[in-house]
Amino acid sequence: MITVSSLSKEFNHTEVLKNIDLQVNASEIVVLLGPSGSGKSTLLRCLNGLEELSGGRFEVNGIGVDAAAPRRTRTAAYREIRKHTGMVFQQFNLYPHKTALGNVIESLLTVKKMPREQAVPVGRELLKRVGLAEKEDAYPSRLSGGQQQRVAIARALAMDPAVMLFDEPTSALDPELVGEVLGVMRGLARDGMTMLVVTHEMKFAREVADKIVFMADGAIVEEAAPDVFFEQPQHERTKKFLRQIE
């Protein structure tokens, strides 16, 4: 579903992603771990065109992006990729003047040009899926952080994505609200969603991931099944990271 080959990214002549190779198969949950500044967000942002890559290539759901291709070709590919990719960020970024339901159906109305009476039942179903059926009329300011993030997940699901990208979706939440968001993500995993997840929730990583990918200094240092990764880390950098988060 996602294949990344020799991807690199520079900011002002500094290479922040170096020769990244990564694969996420259909229905797989891959968790990306690594210290702050290691390039996790930049990698996710490259995959849906929020950042341009400097070198290499990748494919999402069969749509290819190559750093060597003309910009016009890449722009068209990014547009296509965004239709098949849902992204959830640390900050929920909901429209404050729209209700929960309004937020969820916005892309159906504007991107898919779906008539409202058709979009509303889809939106209600999505709110039900994230456990917020009874909150459809609530505005974001009346929702807890955990509820807002669940609305953001429902909104991302509205486009019926083939892949979901999560960038620290629980990092802005009070500890007692983390579980409800992880619960929704576990549900998506059970339903067979393909997911690439940046998180610091080690219990979630261990229980839900099919594969852990560890990054440091813009490079992939190690990747392994969760049991192997946590029990028998191979590289010194990985061991140091795991000691620090204990």
Q: What are the residues binding Mg ion (CB under 5 A)?
A: 41
Size of the site for ligand ADP (CB under 6 A): 10
Which residue number, 16 or 119, has a Cβ lying nearer to ligand ADP? 16
Report the first-to-last Cα separation within the chain, whole angstroms: 32
**Residue 110 binds what, of ligand ADP, Mg ion, none (CB under 5 to 8 Å, by partner type)?**
none
Pick between residue 157 and residue 196 the one whose CB is nearest to ligand ADP.
196
Q: Angle 116-129/100-110 helices, nearest 10 degrees?
A: 130
| Shortest distance in whole angstroms from residue 219 CB to ligand ADP | 11
Q: Tell the burial category of 80 from Cβ atoms under 10 Å away from its Cβ (0-12, 13-18, 19+).
A: middle
Q: Compute the least distance from the CB of residue 34 to ligand ADP, in Å.
A: 6
Cα R_g (the chain), whole angstroms: 18
Look at residue 11 and give the partner it binds from Mg ion, ligand ADP, none, a contact being a CB closer than 5 to 8 Å depending on partner kind. Answer: ligand ADP
Number of H helices, E strands in the chain: 9, 10
Q: How far is CA 110 from its chain centroid?
A: 22
Distance of closest approach, residue 33 Cβ to ligand ADP, in angstroms = 9
Nearer to ligand ADP (CB atom), residue 101 or residue 196: 196
- Residue closer to ligand ADP, measured from CB, 46 or 151: 46
Binding mask 22-51 for ligand ADP (x = CB under 6 A): ------------x-xxxxxxx---------
Cβ atoms of 39 and 9 within 8 Å: the answer is yes
Touching ligand ADP, residues 6-25 (CB under 6 A): 11, 16
Least CB distance to ligand ADP at residue 44 (A): 8
Closest contact distance (angstroms) between CB of 24 and ligand ADP is 18
Structure tokens at 208: 């839900």
Contact call for residues 74 and 52 (beta carbons, < 8 A): yes
Length of the chain (residues): 246
Q: Map residue 228 onto helix, strand or coil.
A: helix
In the complex, the residues that contact ligand ADP under the rule CB under 6 A are 11, 16, 34, 36-42
